[in-house]
Chains A and B, each alone.
Chain A
Amino acid sequence: MITKVTTHLSPNERLIFDRSQPGRMGFSLPPLDVDEAPLDEIIPRDFQRDDGLAGMPEVTEVDVIRHFTRISTWNYSIDQGMYPLGSCTMKYNSRLNEKVARIGGFANLHPLASEDEAQGALEVIYELQQNLAEITGLPGISLQPAAGAHGEMTGIMIIRARIDARDGKEKSAQRRTMLIPDSAHGTNPASANLSGFTVKTIRSTSEGLTDLDHLRELCAHGDVAGLMLTNPNTLGLFEKNIRKICDIVHEAGGLVYMDGANMNALVGVARPGDMGVDVIHLNLHKTFSTPHGGGGPGSGPCCCTKELEPFLPVPRIVRSDSAAADSKSQIPNYRLDFNYAQSIGRVKAFYGNYGMMLRALAYILTHGRDGLREATEAAVLNARYIADALVSDYDKPFDGSPMHEVVFTDKRQARKGAHTLDIAKRLIDYGFHPMTIYFPLIVSGAMLIEPTESVGRQELDQFIEAMRAIAQEALENPELLLNAPHSTRIGRLDEATAARKPVLRWKPQTTESHSTACP
C-alpha cells in the first residue's frame, strides 16, 4: 500500500533553447551614462566577438520563471521528504541559515576589501574555526577547501609536507604508501594520488572493522606515510580499536587521516582529536546542514593537530586583541596571516566557500552545545530504529550495532531475481529517494541507509513499511521491481548508449527528441 505519494500532473518543459525566439528579452539595464567612445577605438576589431553569441537563448523573464519552476517540480528534495542516503547526511537545510547568508553586509563584501573594513566577515571565519576545533578536538584548522574531496587533498598534502619536513626529502621518498581500507569512499584514493602517494588497501575483518593484523603487516614495510580511514566507517560501525590503530601507524612513522563524512554520529559525543587522529576534513554540507544544491556548493574544512598546524593552507585567519580606549575591555582584531613558511600553499583563491561558513556557524549557534549532542543522538536513534525494523526482511551482513547509518544487502531478494538497483528504483514509487547503493564496495549489493535526525517517526515508519512491502514484492512479483520506477515521468534511462555516443550539449538544429511523448 503506497501511502506517501500519488501520481499527479507533471508539466512538460523542453530546453530553454526550444523556448527561444529572436527578439525576446529578459533583462533591464539603465542607459549608458558616460561618454561613449567608438568601440573599435577601445577594443581592436580583431579582439571583438563577431559571432553575436549565436545560439544563446532569447527569452523573456516570464519564460525563465516558467521554465525553471516547471523543471524544478521534477526533482525530489529534502524539503519534500527523507533521503535515506548513507554517507550523505541529508538533514534539514534551515531557512534561517539562508537568511543569514544573504545579509547584505556579508553577501556584498568583496574578498579583497581591506581587513580593517571586513572585520565582521573575518570574525565569522574565526568563530567557526573555534567551534569546529572544539567539536573535533583538533586545534589547527583551515576553512579554505571548497568541498570534502578538496579538504581531503589538503589533509593528505599536509601529511606529505610533515613527513618531508620531519625526515628530509630523501628518506621521505621511501615513504610513499597511503593505506586505505577496502571500504573507503572513492575520493580517498584519488586524493592520495594527488599528493604523490601510491595506495595499498587494508582488509576489513568479518566484523566489518579494520583488520589490525593486516595493518601491522603493511606498516612493517616501513614505507607507510599514513592511513586514511572513516570513523564510524562506511558500514556505520565505530572503529572501536581506533586508538590502537593510530598507535600502530604512529609507531611505524606514519600519520592518521580521518574522513569526517560520518561526523554526524560523533558531534558532542566523541572527538577525532581524542582518538589519536592527526588530521581530518569535515563536510559542512553533511554534518553542518549546508544545502546540497543539486551538487554543491560544499565546504570541506581541514582540521589538524598542533604539530601539523604549520602546514595548513594560507592565509590563516588569526586574532590579536588590543586594549580599548577605556582600558577595561579588549578589541578583537582579525587578520589574514600569510606568514607560514611550511604551508602547503593555497588550495583555492580567496578564503573558501564563505557563504557556507555563515550557514554552518548559524547551524552551530542555533543548536548550541546541547542541541548539537541532541542531533547526534537523534540521528543514531533513527538509524538504529530502521536497522531494528528491517532485519526481518533484509540481510544485514554485520552484527555490530550501527551508528548513524546501517548497511543491508540484497542477498534474500536476489534469489528471486531482484537486485539492489531494482529495490532502490522501486522505492521511488513509494515516494522516497533511494538509499546509497553499491557502496561501500566490500559489501555485495550494498544498500547504505542514513536517515539523519531530520526525520519524524511517521516518515520512518512509512519508509519501513515501504521497504517491507518491496521485500514482499521481490518474492511474489519481482517484475514490479525490475521495471521500476513506474510512476515517474521518465523511466530507467539507457546509460550505455548515453556513454557510447555522448551528447553533452544542445546544438542548433539538433534532432528533436525521438518520441511523441517528449518532455
Chain B
Amino acid sequence: MRYIPNSPDERAEMLRQIGVSSMENLFDSIPADLRLQRSLNVPTALSELELLKKFETTATRNPAAGRISFLGAGAYSHYIPTVVDSLISRSEFFTAYTPYQPEISQGTLQAIFEFQTLVCQLTGMDIANASMYDGSTAMAEAVLMAERVTRRSKVIASSAIHPEYFEVAHTYVQHAGIELAHSDYSPETGTTLADALTDLDDKTAALVVQSPNFFGCIEDVQALADKAHEVGALLIVVVTEAMSFGLLKSPGACGADIVVAEGQSFGVPLSFGGPYVGLFATREKYARQIPGRLVGEAYDGKGRRGFVLTLATREQHIRREKATSNICTNEGLIALAATIYLETMGPRGIEAVAKHCAQKAHYAARKIGAIEGFSLPFSAPFFNEFVVRAPGDANSLLKKLANEKGIDGGIALSRYDANRPNEFLVCATETNTREQIDALVDGIESLSH
C-alpha cells in the first residue's frame, strides 16, 4: 500500500525487533471473539487511474453543476480568484494541525488573527472567533450564548430566517431549556416589523433576525435592535449571503449584539453544501462568553510578537461540561480561504462585487416582474435575492427551465413551505452575465405561455 512507508519486509523486521510473532499478535489484547474473522466487505483497492475515472464518471451525473444557475438560499455562486486555491493547497497550510504549539504554527495563527480582524471589520463588531462549522450552527450557538449572557430562556426568531437554520437552532435548544418562538414577517414587505413583535418582553434573551432575510429582503436592523434593547434582550443578526457586507450597513453599526454569518461567499466552492465556514462576532464585553477558538497577540521572552490560542478556559478541553460550546475542530482551512479571498479582493473589490450582484439581481427582477402573470410579492428592498410569484406551479416551471433551457432558474419555496406553490427565490451574482439573465427571462416567458 503506497501510503504506508515501510515495506512488508521492513515491517516484518520491526515485528522481530519488538518480539511479536506476527501482525495478528499485535491485536492480542482484543478478545478473540471480537476480532473479525473475515475481510471487510468493502471494495478491493483501486489504482489512482481507476479511482479518478470512477469519480469523474460519477460527477457527470451531476448535470446541475455546469448549468447556468440562479440558485441561492444559503449557498452562493461567486467567482473564486485563482490565488485562493493555489495558496490553501500549500501543504504547510492544509496538512498542518491545530495550532496548539504556537512556536511552529505561527503561519496558521497569524492567518486566523487576520481572519478575526476582517470579520470584525465586515460585521462592525469588536471581536470574532476563529470560525464555526457554518452559518446555521453559528446561529444556534449564538442563541445558546444569549441565554448564558442574559440568563433568560426565551428567544424570538423571525420566520423570515432560512428554514434550515431554524431547524438547526431547534435541534440545539431542544434540551437546553430554551423556548424558541417564531415571529411573523409582513406578507407585504417580506420583512420582520418591529412593531409586530408583541412577544418581546423582559424574559426574552434575544431577538434573532436574518438580513438580507431568506426572501432576500433587507431588514431594518436598527429598528429591531432598538426594540430588543428596550426589554434588555440581545439582537442576533444572521447573514447568509456574506457578500452583502460589501454594500449594506454593517449589523454592528445598526446595534447588533451578536452577528453570525455564512462565509461561503468568500472564496469557498459550493461543493454540494460543505465544507463552509461560520462567522461569529460580538461585543468586547462578551469575550468570555463567546464559543469557539480565539487567537490573540502574545510576546515571547525576547519581546518578539507572535500569536497564540487564548482564553482557552472557555473551551471544552478545560471547562468540559461547563464550556461555552463543545466545539473543537472548526473550519480552519475554509477560514483561510475566506481570508485570502478578502485580502485579494480588498475593500474596493468587495464593494464592486456586491454592486454587481445588486445591479444584476435588480435587472433580472425588473425584467421578470414585467412578464405577464409574474410579480414580485414583497415590497422591501433586496440585495441579490428576490421572490417571484408565478401564475402557476413554480416547481414544474423550474423543472422545464432546467430540462429544456439548461437553466436553474431559482428555488421553489414549496421546498420549504407547501403553502407557497407558485413562488420561487431567484439569486443573481457577479457570475451571471447579461446573456444568462436575458436567457432566464426569455425562458420563463416562453415556458409560461
Contacts and interface: CB of A to CB of B under 8 A. Distances in A.
A138 B250 CA distance: 47
B46 A270 contact: no
A296 B302 contact: no
Interface string A315-356: 000000000000000000000000000001111111111111
Interface residues of A, number: 204
6 contacts: A54-B347, A64-B344, A75-B92, A103-B59, A190-B326, A268-B36
Interface stretch (A86-94, A215-223, A412-420, A473-481): A86-94
A325 B430 CA distance: 42
A6 interface: no
Contacts of A187: 316-317, 326, 328
A102 B52 CA distance: 11
B398 to A, nearest CB: 8
Contacts of B269: 107-108, 355
A59 B402 CA distance: 41
Given A348-B134, A349-B134, A370-B39, A59 B62 contact: no
B272 A111 contact: yes
A104 B441 CA distance: 27
Interface stretch (B147-155, B199-207, B305-313): B305-313
Interface stretch (A115-123, A247-255, A302-310, A442-450): A115-123
A140 interface: no
Highest count of chain B CB atoms <10 Å: which of A80, A100, A160, A505? A505
A168 interface: no
A131 interface: yes
B60 A120 contact: yes
Given A49-B250, A120-B58, 10 more contacts: A27-B352, A43-B383, A49-B248, A149-B329, A296-B131, A299-B275, A348-B168, A365-B45, A497-B298, A498-B298
A150 B133 contact: yes
A205 B344 CA distance: 56
A295 B332 contact: yes
Nearest to A459: B5
Contact of B340 (A68, A242, A348, A352): A68
A430 to B, nearest CB: 12
B116 to A, nearest CB: 5
B96 interface: yes
Nearest to B320: A189
Interface string B329-359: 1111111100010111111111111011011
Contacts of A492: 103, 300-301
Given A368-B43, A368-B45, A77 B272 contact: no
A251 B414 CA distance: 46
Given A110-B77, A456-B6, A135 B333 contact: no
B94 A270 contact: no
A29 B318 contact: no
Given A346-B167, A428-B101, A490 B326 contact: no
A349 B333 contact: no
A50 interface: yes
Interface stretch (B24-32, B182-190, B229-237): B24-32
A365 B28 CA distance: 28
B23 interface: yes
- Chain B interface residue number, banded: 35 or more
Which of A36, A293, A350, A424 counts the most chain B CB atoms within 10 A?
A293
A240 B92 CA distance: 39
B411 A428 contact: no
A15 B335 CA distance: 16
Contact of B59 (A13, A120, A198): A120
B419 interface: no
B418 interface: no
Interface in B117-134: 117-118, 120-122, 124, 126-128, 130-131, 133-134
Nearest to B124: A51
Given A52-B347, A433-B97, A503-B296, A238 B106 contact: no
B15 interface: yes
B97 A108 contact: no
A146 B134 contact: yes
Nearest to A492: B300
Nearest to A27: B349
A2 interface: no
Contacts of A296: 131, 275, 329-334
B294 interface: yes
Most buried by B among A42, A189, A296, A366: A296
Contacts of B350: 53, 56
B168 A119 contact: no
B87 interface: yes
Contacts of A434: 101
A499 to B, nearest CB: 5
B5 A75 contact: no
- Nearest first, the 3 closest Cβ-Cβ pairs linking A and B are A105-B59, A368-B45, A350-B273
B58 A123 contact: yes
A346 B133 CA distance: 14
B296 to A, nearest CB: 5
Contacts of B448: none
A374 B4 contact: yes
B422 interface: no
Given A27-B349, A270-B35, A495-B298, A149 B127 contact: no
Contacts of A75: 92-93, 96, 104-108
A104 B94 contact: no
A32 interface: yes
B329 A117 contact: no
B172 to A, nearest CB: 7
B275 A240 contact: no
A29 B430 contact: yes
Contacts of A99: 52
Given A59-B346, A271-B36, A353-B275, A370 B44 contact: yes
Interface in A404-425: 424-425
A411 B346 CA distance: 53
Contacts of A59: 343-344, 346
A135 B299 contact: no
B162 interface: yes
B323 interface: yes
Contacts of A146: 133-134, 137, 274-275, 331
A155 to B, nearest CB: 12
A37 B304 contact: no
B210 interface: no
Given A72-B92, A131-B42, A505-B120, A349 B74 contact: yes
A401 B31 CA distance: 13
Interface in B154-205: 162, 164-165, 167-168, 170-172, 174-177
